Structure 1
Amino acid sequence: MGGEGAMMAANNSLKNNRSLLAKRKETKALEGSYAAIELKEFPKVTAEQLEGIRERIQIKNKQNRIRQLIVLGVFLIILVSFAIYLNH
């Protein structure tokens, strides 16, 4: 009959998964506590510093947008010129 090999592979897979689960439970790799962890203290930020950061990010985003538009424009010009070349 057909399908015996598939069923044997499924049984082997289940057996291997069970053995891996037993090993994971023995080592208890997922146990632990964060009670002894110290959180870092970060300096306070003034409103002026936040405004400066915001302005820098906006300038970088604007520059990235301009670069993307230039690359897209060049790509479209090349694509259109190639299409015109193929039609003639």
Structure 2
Amino acid sequence: MEIRETQEELKALLRQEKDATRHEKLQVLYWLKTQTVETVLSAAVRLGKHRTTIQRWLSSYRAGGIEELLFQKPRSGRPRIMNPETVERLSKELQEPE
């Protein structure tokens, strides 16, 4: 597999990344670029992920590059019961002694 970014670019991205999942995705690319791992299976074992997860990541990288690999869909879920204004007002009230 051809990885378009250089080792230095990948290393810089790894240092900057705060999100754990995105960091792992970059780590796999770095390992493949530096030939630390030779197969998807060895990368999966080393990272503690399933082989198909790594294959899915690499498939998205092939499809759209680093932007597609690091893109994270907005999390869906149940909306909060209280709106932000109510939460802010409550936190202010809780800080008062009475």
Give the TM-score normalised by the residue count of structure 1. 0.24
Rg larger in structure: 1
Between Structure 1 and Structure 2, the one with more helix by share is 1
Give the TM-score normalised by the residue count of structure 2. 0.22
- Which one scores higher on RCO, CA 8 angstroms, separation ≥ 6? 2
